Amino acid sequence: MTVNQVQSAYNEIAGQYEKKIWFDQHILGVARLRKNLLAKATGRILEVACGIGSNIPFFPIGSDITAIDLSPRMLEVARANATKHGLNVNLAVMDAEHLEFPGGSFDTVVSTLSTCIFPNPFKALDEMKRVCRPNGLILLLEHGHSNLPWLANYQDRHEYEHYKDHAGSRLKSQEKLFLPLGI
C-alpha cells in the first residue's frame, strides 16, 4: 500500500479500530506484551504509528511522550485515550519514513504492530534509529508466526481477513526484516 492508501484506510477504520483489535489485545495477549515492553521506556519517548493510542495506558507515569501517526482520525481517538488516562501526549500527523525531528531527539523510540504496515519498513526503521539518541532504546513489538500449533493455525486461517480488516496489517511479518539493520 502507498502512504496515501494507508492514511485513507486508517482514517476510515479509526472509529471501529478498538473493536477490531479487541481479540488480539485481550485473548491473544497483545496488551500484556505491550505492558511488558513499554515498562522499559524511559526519558523522552517517541511513539511511531501510535494509532488510537493503545500504548498510552502502559507508558510510565510522568513520561514525556510524543506520538505520531499518519492518520488524523486515529490521532483524534489517541487524544481521547490520553485524556482518559490523564497523560499529556504531544500528537502529530507524520509519516514514519520521514520523521520531522532532529537526530538524537529521543531517549526511547517505540513502535508496536506497525512495521508490517509501512510501505518501506527499512526507511522507517532507519528514521527511528536516526532520531533515537546514541545508546537509547528502540522498542518494537511485531507480529510473527506463532510456535504454538493452535495459534499458528489460527493465524494461517485468518491472515487475509486480518490484512483486509486491519488496513494492510499482516499477522505474519517477515522476521528477517530486522536482521540487516543492526539496531
pTM: 0.77
Domains and CATH numbers, the chain: 3-143 (3.40.50.150)
Mean pLDDT of 36-49: 96
Q: Is 67 helix (H, G, I), strand (E, B) or coil?
A: strand
Q: Which residues pair with 111 in a beta bridge?
A: 140
Enumerate long-range contacts of 166-170, CB under 8 Å, 24 or more apart: 166/13, 166/20, 166/21, 167/1, 167/6, 167/9, 167/10, 167/12, 167/13, 167/117, 168/1, 168/5, 168/6, 168/9, 168/116, 168/117, 169/113, 169/116, 169/117, 169/143, 170/116, 170/143
Mean pLDDT comparison of 10-19, 73-82, 157-166, highest-scoring range: 73-82
- The span from the CA of 67 to the CA of 47, in Å, is 5
- The span from the CA of 134 to the CA of 143, in Å, is 27
pLDDT in tens, 128-174: 999 999 999 999 998 766 676 776 677 677 765 645 554 445 444 44
Mean pLDDT of 90-110: 98
pLDDT in tens, 125-137: 999 999 999 999 9
